[in-house]
Amino acid sequence: MAKYTHTMEMPRRIVMGSQILDEVKGVVNDLGFHNPIILCDKITYEIAAQYVSELLSCPVIYATHADYNEVERIVDELPIGLDVLIGVGGGTIIDLAKLSSRLRSVPFISVPTAASHDGIASSRASIKKKDEKTSIQALPPIAVVADTHIIASAPYRFLAAGFADLISNYTAVKDWELAYRLKGEYFSEYAHQLSLLSAKLMIKNASLIREGTERSVRKVVKGLISSGIAMSIAGSSRPASGSEHLFSHALDMIAPKPAMHGEQCGVGAIMMMYLHGGKWLSIKRALKTAKAPTNAEELGIEEETILDALAMAHTIRDRYTILGSQGLTREAARSLARTTGVIRG
Ligand SMILES: [Zn+2]
């Protein structure tokens, strides 16, 4: 009999609360780190990174954009003797910290200043590599310090995007089940249920999220962390990334000005749920309630670009979904987008 091994990488400590940046020091000390360095951008420096760097008396590196060249530049800049990298920022900074720390073989601590996607506690990083944007496997953060006061102060659009990214777990798990049944892919019932739970709690709490308060932030952040844990249990992004994510990755590649990751995934989830024959209207309603985009116009993307992305989504990566291996014809894409109200034309 073949030996069964399944490894799960998880964060060791997760701290969430209001005005709790001081906790970063305790986390660094308790986990036995002595030489931290902070990665941030000019904006998150003002918001939180300056405070943390003074608290820890440690240096700061600035990141400017989210592509692979930037990861390489950051890795070159990391000093010798560094033992932990602290990413202080939105999704981009967290992704850059995740990949840079992986390449340097040091752990990273996630200090999100926005809750815009489930990368804040997961092992997947979404980084652009030669005009292709897809997700790369790395390691989850060793710790997460989520200050709900700071996250609630970010523009509401970020929180709505995080909410929409969680809603998209609905279609991701459907695609995963399909791949399990049709292609014999590995499937974890635990990861599946945990991912689904985050999505269900978002639908249930859509009105609360809309308020944009610290209570709303707590709900979304817990959901994003649970979603990250579901990916850790599965050992892949399967529980939280299916055809709706392929659609979003396609938009990132071809749209002149893509919308936010979670926003695109939310709109993708409406359409992919229709293809699955599921309750796409309840997904659309929840997104509307939380003031997340539900159509091309609200995404700020041309209708034709939406159709192009739908037609090419199945080619983005080797992941079996409801789009199958042939994908959608342009006619089918148009009819899908029209029926679900994503486009008018
Ligand atoms: Zn996502």
- Nearest-CA neighbor of 83 among 26, 120, 31? 31
CATH topology of domain 13-153: Rossmann fold (3.40.50)
- pLDDT digits 0-9 by tens, 37-66: 999 999 999 999 999 999 999 999 999 887
- If you measure from the C-alpha of residue 118 to the centroid of ligand 1, how many angstroms do you get, rounded to a whole number? 6
Handedness of CA 149, 29, 126, 231 (dihedral sign): negative
pLDDT tens for residues 272-309?
A: 999 999 999 999 999 999 999 999 999 999 999 999 99
Cα(334)–Cα(55) distance, rounded to whole angstroms? Answer: 54
Please list all protein residues whose beta carbon sits less than 5 angstroms from ligand 1, which is an ion: 117, 165
Query: 237 C-alpha vs ligand 1 centroid, how far in Å?
Result: 9
| Cα-to-centroid distance, 151 and ligand 1 (Å) | 18
Q: How confident is the model at residue 131 (pLDDT cuts 50, 70, 90)?
A: low
- Cα-to-centroid distance, 259 and ligand 1 (Å): 13
Q: Which helix (H) or strand (E) holds 145?
A: strand 143-147
**214/220 Cα distance (integer angstroms):** 10
Please determine, for residue 318, whether its predicted confidence score (pLDDT) is greater than 90.
Answer: no
Report, in angstroms and rounded to the nearest whole number, the Rg of the chain calculated over CA atoms. 19
2 CA distance to ligand 1 centroid (A)? 34
**Rounded to the nearest whole angstrom, what is the distance from the C-alpha of residue 51 to the centroid of ligand 1?**
29
Ligand 1: distance of its center to the CA of 246 in Å? 10
pLDDT digits (tens, 9 = 90+) for 70-123: 999 999 999 999 999 999 999 899 999 999 999 999 999 999 999 999 889 998
Distance 248 CA to ligand 1 centre (A): 9
How far does the centroid of ligand 1 lie from the alpha carbon of residue 69, in Å?
22
By C-alpha distance, which of 59, 120, 126 is closest to 89?
Answer: 120
Q: What is the pTM of this model?
A: 0.95
226 C-alpha vs ligand 1 centroid, how far in Å?
A: 13
Q: How far is the centre of ligand 1, averaged over its atoms, from the C-alpha of 80 (Å)?
A: 33
CA 341 / ligand 1 centre spacing (Å): 22
- Strands 13-17, 36-40: parallel, antiparallel or unpaired by DSSP? unpaired
Residue extents of the structural domains in the chain: 13-153, 159-339
The CATH number corresponding to 159-339 among 2.10.60.10, 3.30.379.10, 1.20.1090.10, 3.30.465.10 equals 1.20.1090.10
